[in-house]
Structure 1
Amino acid sequence: MIHLYGNCGRLRQACLLFQKMGEFWGVPDTWTYNILISLNIKNNKVKLAAKYFARMKKAFLEPDVVSYRTLLYAYSTRKMVREAEELIREMDERDLEIDEFTQSALTRMYVESGMLEQSWLWFRRFHLAGNISSDCYSANIDAYGERGYTLAAEKVFICCKEKKKLTVLEFNVMIKAYGIGKCYDKACQLFDSMKKIGVVADKCSYSSLIHILASADKPHIAKSYLKKMQEAGLVSDCVPYCVVISSFTKLGQFEMAEELYKEMLGYAVQPDVIIYGVFINAFADAGSVKEAINYVNEMRKAGLPGNPAIYNSLIKLYTKVGYLKEAQETYKLIQLSDEGPSLFSSNCMIDLYTERLMVEQAKEIFESLMKNEVANEFSYAMMLCMYKKIGRLDEAIQIATQMRRLGFLTDILSYNNVLGLYSMDRRLREATETFKEMIKSGVQPDDFTFRALANILLNCGVSKQAVGRLEVMVKRDAPHGLQAWMLALS
């Protein structure tokens, strides 16, 4: 019942039942305590579990190997080094065996705590005693490899080799460690050495190395291993092809990507929506409408539905080349999806509508972004530009005020848009305040900034000669020139 309560998350009832057990039904035994220790650890109550461990000893019950291992593993995963070492001393005094699972967990604890010397001494203790299996060697390699300690991982690998316990698992975790450590040549050399010692590479070996190389912008090398993987009959889906194709497109090598895609089809490997998404996004970034649409059509022929990522790529493409109808249709598809439109796709549509002065459509999307509290500096800046362009200055001023209040003035373009608006509406005070904010934020003014400020000064009656002197001064001596502009605007 205690175990049942604990597994159902009713820890309080389990503890109460334990207390009643002592009062009415007899003395709890080691097994009972072990259940409570385990349940409390599962519920992340390690200190309470330790109290039950101490209480068990107080009741003159000997904690068994399960008691120690359960608590020791909890300490190791939480990097409670002092407590873990205390338990190890007790286990050594009682000559209790530390299992492999706990041993590798302790190695990882030391590694993750930055205690490399202790981790190595701990590992060597079991290695020299010959008490480590192949699985345990791989866990120790991984403990070092995941943290980027490649040399330490290599040392464990060599130890495993000395004991003649190397299997494909050790090779796989060592290849992974080389990938994390960016030792790409070593990863390839290790993979190539497997065959020499009679270890057959499995699907994980190939997939790991291909992913490592593709992520390191080495798709040409990755492609050679992908070919070997295909020849070994280990390619069951398009995932490894997708990784390499993505790497080629990232480098702008579209011909190589498409060549590999055709090769994949030749092996009767079916593409999925992700691989189509890679091509669509790549060609969208390049502004290649025909090629992107070609993959959209292929995807539809294959009976695969689009997803928000693909729709966002298409909107990016359509807005870039000005395809209004196609962009609107795609945006509607995103609106119907569970995720809804992203900020990026919404901003793309606002940008497209702004260019075409389609005020109501742009306003509708902008208001939706504001309602959901996701509108950003770009969203506001586009609306400001549109209102300014069509002469609706009151609404443009309102947007500018909101941008300043929300802290949405962070780059030169936004500042210039606002200053240009204030110049157009002859708002000296607001322009002066904005210019001061700009200088204080560290954004450097450019020629457009000074043209907007010059127009304001001219509209306020300052002579062309005086403005000209200010323009010359800021070019010759920027610090003193900025002070002169500030003084003139005040």
Structure 2
Amino acid sequence: MIKSPILQSLLASRHDVTQNPEVNNYRAKEQECLYILKRCKNIKEFKQVHARFIKLSLFCSSSFSASNVLSTCAHSGWDKSMNYAASIFRAIDDPCTFDFNTMIRGYVNETGYEEALWFYVEMVKRGIEPDNFTYPCLLKACTRLRSIQEGKQIHGHVFKLGFEVDVFVQNSLINMYGRCGEMELSSAVFEKLESKTAASWSSMVSARAGMGMWSECLMLFREMCRETNLKAEESGMVSALSACANTNALNLGMSIHGFLLRNISELNIAVQTSLVDMYAKCGCLEKALYIFRKMESRNNLTYSAMISGLALHGEGEAALRMFSEMIEEGLESDHVVYVSVLNACSHSGLVKEGRRVFEEMLKEGTVEPTAEHYGCLVDLLGRAGLLEEALETIQTMPIEQNDVVWRSFLSSCRVHQNVELGQIAARELLKLSSHNSGDYLVISNMYAQAQMWEDVARARTEMAAIKGLKQIPGFSTVEVDGKTHRFVSQDRFHPNCKEIYKMLHQMEWQLKFEGYSPDTTQILLNVDEEEKRERLKGHSQKVAIAFALLYTPPGSIIRIARNLRMCSDCHTYTKKISLIYEREIVVRDRNRFHLFKGGTCSCKDYW
């Protein structure tokens, strides 16, 4: 008996069938039930219709009906629908390929990746032949689980059964190998394609993006745009936008945005979120906020991207307001959102607010705090100079201490020139055998600030003694006319080197009239003052600014990206340059953005 009022009304609307003389005909009954089945709104209504199929003997006698009941439940997205779908599947006497595909796809959609693989194993054991619809979902499960061995075995089955030529299977293989770190195999599948579709290119772009190979991802994306008439799928666009965000390629990101607006009538939430993330990470916070506010619907990832963007720009109070807005909209905070909020508090010196957010996270209990969360709290306290409290937090945290929290603490000790506590962090880091070149550099720099030159030499000797440990040089990049130019300190290799250093000399001359005095304490070498001043002149950020002043239009914004934290001398220098040359200069260092304008910085000298 159908109890739901909605289903009763649907049944009543089928009077043309039920009043038909053949109402008791088997086919009519089946069509009637299938009609109602497709209109179920929740699991409760579905179970009533399922019971009707069983009562009329339709479920057992018709494989078509059984498959429809199964697929409706498995692909519904209702709470615990896959548990019920599994019970339906077990009641089917002779499940076919379609039924197994239904269960595999259903589990993959509900993140039950291991269950999806187990159903495939059962499918093979029963002798049920897979088809070309089986493998894309299976390969997606391997991708999510990073199960490269299982993925390779499935590739073998694909080859054996002759599905290797199927474009959907090929694209899934490209993506699976790439996301699992097997870029050579991913490229090999891509190169063997006789006809590369937009989906093929998008899969390859996504696979490099998934590995964090941002520069390679953009090179491939440009190649696709240059050598083919294909238009990348939205997934490829999302990956390209992520690459732009992580390489500070604003111009390319804006071009992709323009392409999307011209060719896609309605952007989905993933693309819009990627645009928010790209603009925020490329220094265009107002543009990111504009897109965010125009979105009709937002999810956790959207809010996380916006909160993270506000954090990068030192807008801690705005990030907290955004966090409150997210909660008011009924969205639950997750691991990533809390990291973004805590970072926002850290970059803005909002110690009281950061403590409160962390305590709320512990109290609510929906997110289990990780080392990353504790690292954010330690960073918050350390930046504010509360080193004793930061150390106590590390020593009392209920989870295992790792290099993340000790590295954050060490950095704060260096900034606040507390060698005693910094040595504690250094010992703990070396105990963990993290062998990170950056750790040794921070340790040696901390000793250099205290003029403990013997300890500096020892730290650098230890670093040199570890095989394979390489020091990554500091550099600054600036984009001019669509091309990215990279500079290191004392750079003499650029084709326009002579003009750049003439400009640097002119800038130094102008700065003298503004009262600029080089901060030689930032040169952590045991050399005389004259050499320290000469070394300061050639810092990579200054070289990049000189180049940009020469080769960009007057009044235009200069955008620079750095791989290391900005030194205090470069910070003072850039503030004064922004005033003298009447330019806005946006600098993104390892941790955050600095907007220099009219002799001031958006960070309010707190970074």
Q: Please, what TM-score do these two structures have when normalized by structure 2?
A: 0.41
Structure with the bigger percentage of helix = 1
Structure with the bigger percentage of strand = 2
Structure number, greater radius of gyration: 1
Kindly indicate whether structure 1 or structure 2 has the higher relative contact order, using CA contacts under 8 Å at least 6 residues apart: 2
Q: Please, what TM-score do these two structures have when normalized by structure 1?
A: 0.49
